[in-house]
Amino acid sequence: MKKILVPDIGDFKDVPVIEVLVAVGDTVKKDQSLISVESDKATMEVPSSAPGVVRAILVKLGDKVNTGDAIVEVEDTAVTAPSAVDASADKTEPAPGGPALATSSPAVVTAPVPTTAEVPPRVASDAGYLSGTLEHTLVKINASPSVRKLARELGAELDKVVGTGNAGRVTHEDVKRFIRSALAARPVKSAAPVAVGKGIDLLPWPNVDFSKYGSIERQALSRIKKISGANLHRNWVLIPHVTNHDEADVTDLEAFRVAHNARPVSRSEEGAKLTLLAFVIKACVDALRRFPTFNASLDGEELVLKKYFHIGFAADTPNGLVVPVVRDADQKGIVEIASECSRLAALAREGKLSPAEMQGGCFSVSSLGGIGGTNFTPIINAPEVAILGVCKTVMKPVWNGSEFTPRLMMPLSLSWDHRVIDGALAARFLTHLTTTLADMRRTLL
């Protein structure tokens, strides 16, 4: 029998138990959460330092615990389990400076086993940072006990769920959405047997000890980075991307924009600064209308064509990339689109976008125009089928048939899903976009 103790929880004292996550008779794995405790700064799940069967629960809801308090008694089943780790501090202490090896099976060699106090708590912090001994063990899971319970029941890994609540707090709806999208992303069973093709068979990731070559520092990825990274990776691997590049002559457009911003034409527009991004979104809507295949999603062997025009735009925030959506951009004027982008971008930076403000996009625009660069290959935001990258405008000599004239050129990069779109269609779409941006009056035709 092994008593599981509260590990070192740093400066926290008398933290109340807000959840008991196991019952007597449950079989628990090593590192499985046993209880949750919550201080005014953080929520922590205390994991089991050993596998086994829960024989007694020594705390109840509302009890206050401190480092070293016993919370659960576990009968250690490790010695009989085929691949188990002998984690019982009663039976096996790691030999100083070397691994603990003993199990009932001579064929099983175990890893060094930490003592109870060495098993770190999983910490969720509203503040995002905690000091002292916990700093290196932080897992930012900003969610209420009931949300964490729901996540456990549905099998959602909370640290992969994007929190859309206040300060990125994970809500019940976030967990359900995560599960829905995980189910939707499951490979559809094909009626016909797959005769050829292989899974991606890659070399293992290089395992390098960088500190051998110089001094290093490790930083945990932000929550948004972890989630967007997983999504981007899936999209990059599963979608056959092609990117076309072109340039739009925005000389007249920029002159109009600058003049408009200098002297608003009406009181209602005063204060709403026109941005190039707003014009690009409007031009994209026009192109999507003319080329409906771009305003679509692939669903098995069908294309879902959308009759609405919700346009997402990538927003760079201190915590990573998010994509707020301008809804019904076809029904909005450029001033309205500009002020909506500015409102959504501000909310994005504060981490206050609501789920609805990030859902339902048909097509995305990723603008690096305010920063620089000549071209890039944006990754499609599934289940959309195309994305437009915008780079910084540059004044260039352009041949007009008789002479070179200085023209302000905007580099555009259109990535598209080759399962849905062919190269010729993509070139037509991009040509339409550049022509429209060269003279936005075309959108009125």
Tell me the closest approach of the beta carbon of residue 322 to ligand CAO, in angstroms. Answer: 9
48 or 231: CB nearest ligand CAO: 231
- 260 is an active site residue: no
Backbone angles phi, psi at 356, to 5 degrees: -60, -30
**Binding to ligand CAO by residue 314, rule CB under 6 A?**
yes
- The residues pairing with 170 across neighbouring beta strands, listed in sequence order, are 143
When binding is defined by CB under 6 A, the residue of 144, 275, 339, 413 that contacts ligand CAO is 275
Tell me the closest approach of the beta carbon of residue 353 to ligand CAO, in angstroms. Answer: 12
SS (H, E, C) 200-236: CCCCCCCCCCHHHCCCCCCCCCCHHHHHHHHHHHHHH
**Binding to ligand CAO by residue 5, rule CB under 6 A?**
no
**Binding to ligand CAO by residue 410, rule CB under 6 A?**
yes
Q: Where are the beta strands (DSSP E) in 360-403?
A: 363-367, 386-390, 394-399
**Residues 291/429, Cβ–Cβ less than 8 Å:** yes
Number of residues that bind ligand CAO (CB under 6 A): 20
CA 108 to chain centre: 38
Nearest Cα to Cα of residue 249 among 113, 367, 397 = 397
Q: Which of 110-118, 264-272, 273-281, 435-443 is the region at the interface with ligand CAO (rule: CB under 6 A)?
A: 273-281
417 phi-psi bin (left φ>0, alpha ψ -120 to 50, beta other) = beta
177 or 392: CB nearest ligand CAO: 392
**Binding to ligand CAO by residue 311, rule CB under 6 A?**
no
Tell me the closest approach of the beta carbon of residue 395 to ligand CAO, in angstroms. Answer: 11
**Residues 65/39, Cβ–Cβ less than 8 Å:** no
**Residues 224-243 contacting ligand CAO, CB under 6 A:** none
Name the active-site residue from 233, 245, 310, 418.
418
* Token pair for 197: 């093709």
Cis peptide before 16 (omega within 30 of 0): no
Residue type, 379: I
125 or 367: CB nearest ligand CAO: 367
**Residues 366-395 contacting ligand CAO, CB under 6 A:** 366-370, 378, 390, 392-393
What does the binding site for ligand CAO look like in residue numbers (CB under 6 A)? 275-277, 313-316, 321, 341, 345, 366-370, 378, 390, 392-393, 410
Residues classed as catalytic: 418
